[in-house]
Copies of this chain bind each other. A is one copy, B any other.
């Protein structure tokens, strides 16, 4: 399958450590329509630096609010930490191409070669670093699939910070070993919703059988951070600062492509809160925003939690408990609790404001895929490419395979890039269900969504 033209393209393109990006790229700087500001749910007014400081670390608030500086330097200490697992490889999927018999060239940026098992470590070390710089004692957070919690535990262990993790209950139960990894790194882990917080007790009283959601867990972690001196809350996705840190993925991918003289046509990423997708597409989106190059971007989400494809573009709470600011985003309503599918990292009711604005403005496409089709793609990929993918990442694999098959039918020689965000080693309960033929697809009805939308907060027209 390797043609003469491909002879110089290895299976894996690695950058050297000296080629690691020296600055993150802030896509907002190049957007004509900036993402809408966070609003104070009480006053309806935009949140400024002083409003956000009680929740987030100072430097991270600055990054959150900065929509004009295009490049922000990566501190040397963070770059040194990155060197323990980065640059990550850009992989040419020769075997997958051959098996599919497609004229498409398929590449994936593989972020799973670290103990957190995903790209989450890129932002975890940055956020922990700024917390340490500020002299804090520790941080609180939520985790869905457990990848973010593991990543944060690793970063905190490295820097000597305390780490308290609220873990979505269904993941906590399905993934006891994730909990043990976090404990090995010295973190405390609590299943959410829990009785340890006011908001947790309230949610449990209303929904005693809930398997939890990222929205619930965020509420609990924020409550603890804002009530414990020396602590701040950190978040693994959705926020602008997270997309900023994750731009290291796309910057590396772009450098690697430049090195081999290739330009991708289609870029595909799974989207829960948007951290991976936003990071992967960042430098390519820059060229599209500036009219320098065109790319197709495809966000892939679970049909059971379809924020982009069936959500509303509106101001909504970032959390279920309604303690967080309002963000303008594609949302299913902060009261929406998705069915217990196996991509815990994608079970979030909302979406990054930045990606939401880009989608709204027509710079991106979105597709919702069903769970069984996702695991079919995961198994296929594992057998052919040798990497057992995370269920989250497998959403992107599904659409990459679909696009490659389309190329086989049309004869188009497109170059496809997708984000392989992580490995599925802690998702074997899900794989077992698939292996046993017991996986099902649950999709919200229009009525369920309408009921959830009815709970969207009222925001003054002048702001929204």
Contact = CB atoms under 8 A, between A and B. Distances in A.
Contacts of A177: 177, 425-426, 428-429, 432
Closest 3 CB pairs of A and B: A177-B428, A11-B83, A180-B428
A164 B428 CA distance: 20
B12 A386 contact: no
A181 interface: yes
Given A180-B431, A180-B435, A184-B388, A83 B114 contact: no
Contacts of A425: 115, 117, 177, 181, 425-426
Most buried by B among A177, A379, A426: A177
A435 B153 CA distance: 15
A49 interface: no
Number of copies: 2
Nearest to A91: B84
A115 B12 CA distance: 16
Interface of A: 10-12, 14, 16-17, 81, 83-85, 95, 113-115, 117, 154, 157-158, 176-177, 180-181, 183-186, 379, 382-388, 423, 425-426, 428-429, 431-432, 434-435
Contacts of A16: 10
Contact of A157 (B113, B183, B383): B383
A158 B85 contact: no
B386 A154 contact: yes
A342 to B, nearest CB: 13
Given A11-B83, A154-B383, A158-B383, 18 more contacts: A10-B83, A11-B84, A12-B83, A84-B95, A84-B386, A95-B158, A113-B113, A114-B386, A115-B388, A177-B425, A177-B432, A180-B435, A181-B431, A184-B388, A184-B434, A185-B383, A425-B425, A425-B426
A162 to B, nearest CB: 14
Contacts of A114: 386-387
Contacts of A84: 11, 95, 385-386
A108 B276 CA distance: 30
Nearest to A385: B84
A176 B11 contact: no
A432 B431 CA distance: 23
A8 to B, nearest CB: 10
Contacts of A10: 16-17, 83
A180 B375 CA distance: 14
Most buried by B among A83, A84, A154, A423: A84
